Structure 1
Amino acid sequence: MVDMTLTRMETVLTRLDPALERAGGAFRMTVEDVPVLVITDPTADRMRAMVPIRSAEGLKPEDLTRMMQANFDSALDARYAVAEGRVWAVFIHPLSPLRDDQLVSGIGQTVNTALSYGTLFSSGAGQFGRGDSQKAQRELLERLQRQGRDI
């Protein structure tokens, strides 16, 4: 296994977005019209891919609960987070052992997690074990079916 380096990361990320911008250990890119920021710290051997979702101002307790439920079972490698007054979708991983396919999957899951905020709250990579997301997703489908019958 080859250690992930910033040069290798840049090569992988450029495959996802040929217009990738790099400034030192930070990368800015767009995936499916979603802005993604990747920050690295080689000294600490860490990386973080982040997508801003919304302002954290006005978050209701049920919104926070739903994000934490998703972090448990449906966000998988991505996570919802609150920092600097914003809600984020993030993928955090040690830098050097990160494989190319893990990086690509982590970014895809982060984008899906951001896009599904407020609806399925899912990374799109399935669900893991027991949790509350499946029930919430089933309730969404049932609600939509009821609305569809109201036509």
Structure 2
Amino acid sequence: MTPEEIASTLTELFGTSAVDALVQPVVEIAAGSWQIDTSTFRLLVLLSEDNTWLRVLLPIVPIQEAQPFLGQFLEANFDETQEVRYALYEGVIWGVFQHNTDSLVSADFSNAINRLVSLHEAGLNDVFNRLIESRIRQIIEAAKQQGQSLQATMQSLERFYAEGLLGEVNQTSDAREEVLTAWRRQLEKLWNES
């Protein structure tokens, strides 16, 4: 892709008002660099000095918020993120896409940007859900090692909530029942997979 094709694709995706390049004085950016500001994110598109590599960057979340989920971010890089990756730089988890400009086509560039935006929109939700699922799988594994059935495991969880070992201090009975229903649903879903 040429710089002109990159600019054209960005304009198609975001419109002319969202794409800032060197020609617009609002944002000082070097030649071969674009910044897209929306109400929810700032996306950076950077070419290498020799225009052979393209990098697209989108901040996802500060490292302070992401710290408990670093393992899940790395697992997502392996399993789920497809052509984009999570990366850590200067205290921020970023969504990153890098590609050689010679073999990059507009459709792949657009797909990568859409994928980065979806990672941004998901924020911590996907990695949090991955962490919760791994914890539930650990509970299932421990229960099975002790010879417990799904029903016995669920009864133990209900007892823990009733005794205040799990849940919040001021949790209402309706809220507790809602949480237990979610537990039951997840245990039933994952029990035979573990």
TM-score under structure 2 length normalisation: 0.58
User: 1:41 maps to which residue?
Assistant: 48
Residues 113/16 of structure 1: CA separation in 2 closer, same or farther (3 Å cut): same
3-state SS of paired residue (2:4): helix
Corresponding residue for 2:179? 147
In structure 2, the gaps of 5 or more residues are: 23-30, 137-177, 183-194
Matched-pair identity in %:
22
TM superposition shift of 1:17:
1.3
Deviation at 1:108, TM superposition (A): 0.4
How far off is 1:111 after superposition?
0.9
Matched, 1:98 2:101: no
Larger proportion of helix: 2
TM-superposed deviation, 1:34: 2.6
Is the 2:61–2:93 Cα contact (8 Å) retained in structure 1?
yes
Task: Choose between structure 1 and 2: higher strand proportion.
Answer: 1
Instruction: Choose 1 or 2 for highest CA Rg.
Output: 2
State how far apart, in whole Å, the 2-side matches of 1:32 and 1:103 are: 22
Q: Give the C-alpha shift of residue 136 in structure 1.
A: 3.7
Normalization by structure 1: what TM-score?
0.73
Which of 1 and 2 has higher RCO (CA within 8 Å, sep 6+)?
Answer: 1
1:1-151 equivalences under 5 Å are 4-18=1-15, 19=17, 20-23=19-22, 24-30=31-37, 33-41=40-48, 43=50, 45-57=52-64, 59-60=66-67, 62-121=68-127, 136=133, 147=179, 149=181
- 8 A contact 1:42–1:95 mirrored in 2: no
Distance 2:75 2:13 in 1: 30
Q: Which runs of 5+ in 1 are unaligned?
A: 122-132, 140-145
Q: 1:21 Cα deviation (Å)?
A: 0.6
Let me know the Cα RMSD of the aligned residues: 3.0
Cα pair distance change 1:103/1:116, threshold 3 Å = same
Q: Measure how far apart 1:28 and its partner are.
A: 0.9
Shift of 1:45: 1.1
CA distance in 1, matches of 2:10, 2:4: 10
Paired positions, count: 130
